[in-house]
A and B are shown apart, each in its own frame.
Chain A
Amino acid sequence: DQQVKQNSPSLSVQEGRISILNCDYTNSMFDYFLWYKKYPAEGPTFLISISSIKDKNEDGRFTVFLNKSAKHLSLHIVPSQPGDSAVYFCAATYGSSNTGKLIFGQGTTLQVKP
């Protein structure tokens, strides 16, 4: 039962253009969503989060959009840079959870070409 899904295993974009990474979820109880970035041989690093009471959160070149009715979120990177090439994971949790357990998607490998 995959509660968080990233249906695109990979994405390739040109440097300077926009990268859009997508994520779908099935559990309407999730109320916080996070994006992580992972380089090879390193642990994932936290990128940005969004609460379900918002539909957009921005941090520099990174913006996350949430569409609750569609149970869909996306991460926009503008402009994309070669250093952004990594695996991106979306994750979801219940904000009221006592454990803080995150449910992760399968990841999308982003390649930004110079």
Chain B
Amino acid sequence: GAGVSQSPSNKVTEKGKDVELRCDPISGHTALYWYRQSLGQGLEFLIYFQGNSAPDKSGLPSDRFSAERTGGSVSTLTIQRTQQEDSAVYLCASSNYRVSNYGYTFGSGTRLTVV
């Protein structure tokens, strides 16, 4: 597609439920990143994929968080047993360039609210 697509755009879930967030990167982009932005905070790195592999998972806040990428394309971020502190905007980005020069292309994000 023309840009990075994320779905759903908004998700309200009850505490303790599992949620899945989807990211469709720009076609051909090999690098994919997940970030989250909590209220009043900056963008917090979660995980990086190169192809289907995740060489850097250092930002995942707990073992309730997991992510996968298939076919070098679509990625899914799963949060199990959601907690209220998981409420945030979850952003996905992709890149096929030298990131330091050109940065990533971000999607519009999924706003997750845990009630």
Contact = CB atoms under 8 A, between A and B. Distances in A.
Q: Do A and B bind each other?
A: yes
Interface of A: 4, 6, 31-32, 34, 36, 41-46, 49, 51, 89, 91, 93, 95, 98-107
8 contacts: A34-B100, A46-B104, A91-B43, A95-B100, A99-B56, A100-B98, A102-B43, A106-B42
Interface bracket on B: 20 to 34
Contacts, number: 72
B56 A102 contact: no
B4 interface: yes
Contacts of A101: 33, 45, 48, 56
A9 B43 CA distance: 14
Contacts of A107: 42
Given A34-B100, A42-B108, A43-B93, 18 more contacts: A31-B100, A36-B103, A43-B91, A43-B107, A43-B109, A46-B104, A49-B101, A49-B103, A89-B43, A91-B43, A91-B103, A95-B100, A101-B45, A102-B43, A102-B45, A102-B104, A106-B42, A107-B42
Contact of B40 (A89, A95, A106): A106
